[in-house]
Amino acid sequence: MSLLNQQAFSPRILGMLLELLLAEIGHESVDMVLAKANLPTEIAAPQPASRLTSLAAAENLGRILRALRTFYGRGARGTLIRIGRLLWPRMLESASMTEKAQVQVVRALPLTMRRKAALELLARLLRTRSDGITIHTLDMDLMLVDRQTISPSQPRESAAICYVTIGLIQETLFWATGHEHDVEETGCRAAGNDDCEFKITIGTGK
């Protein structure tokens, strides 16, 4: 695998994500899910996670998401989406001064331009290399393409696993516009797609 295609995830954000996961479903449940997947329970410890390399952080995140999906199936979806939504304000709090300046820029934009700018900000906070996560316009809709977070699976997952990212996108858009948006992962690297692709449907605010 070339370095450019290698998975990567911010160790600092993984640490925050694991704190939320442990608070949501509890240490015992997390340990049990990892043990059933023959994974060491240490990989869910927030403090050590925040000191990993970005490659190791992505590998551990992928292992944990796969283990949760195997154990809970579709039942993992709601919990992981909620964790993604809770993660967004924490990421904003811990953003750098330059990133916080971009937050002010996004909030000052007219509503119609704010969605894409907010997703660009999310991509900037998440990405570990320049083309790792990008935002695209698709007719009326938007798409977030993630080439970095999840490694391709062997064996392949039967469905997408990136529910935390769905929650992050939903909360980013809610933060930016005050409206809920439909977000769907239409292709996932864990399920054999080249990239993880998230389609955001515009104009169906609930």
Looking at beta carbons only, is 52 or 188 nearer to Zn ion?
Answer: 188
Shortest distance in whole angstroms from residue 161 CB to Zn ion: 6
- Sole window of 79-87, 125-133, 135-143, 192-200 interacting with Zn ion (rule: CB under 5 A): 192-200
**188 contacts Zn ion (rule: CB under 5 A):** yes
**Sign (positive or negative) of CA dihedral 138, 162, 90, 75:** positive
Give the separation between CA 177 and CA 204, rounded to whole angstroms. Answer: 13
Shortest distance in whole angstroms from residue 188 CB to Zn ion: 3
Backbone torsions φ then ψ of 106, nearest 5 degrees:
-60, -45
**196 contacts Zn ion (rule: CB under 5 A):** yes
Chain centre distance of CA 189: 13
- List Cβ neighbours of 85 (8 Å cut-off, separation of 6 or more): 167, 168, 170, 171, 174
Q: How many residues bind Zn ion (CB under 5 A)?
A: 4
**125 contacts Zn ion (rule: CB under 5 A):** no
Give the single-character DSSP code of 191. G
Looking at beta carbons only, is 114 or 163 nearer to Zn ion?
Answer: 163
Helix (H) or strand (E) holding 88: helix 76-93
Looking at beta carbons only, is 61 or 150 nearer to Zn ion?
Answer: 150
**137 to 176: interface string for Zn ion, x by CB under 5 A:** -------------x-----------x--------------
- Sole window of 43-51, 70-78, 169-177, 181-189 interacting with Zn ion (rule: CB under 5 A): 181-189
Give me 127's structure tokens.
Answer: 């990405």
Shortest distance in whole angstroms from residue 195 CB to Zn ion: 8
Looking at beta carbons only, is 11 or 62 nearer to Zn ion?
Answer: 62
Work out whether strand 182-187 and strand 141-146 pair parallel, antiparallel, or are unpaired: unpaired
Give the separation between CA 155 and CA 39, rounded to whole angstroms. Answer: 16
**33 contacts Zn ion (rule: CB under 5 A):** no
Count CA within 13 A, CB hemisphere, residue 132.
22
Q: In the complex, which residues of this chain contact Zn ion (CB under 5 A)?
A: 150, 162, 188, 196
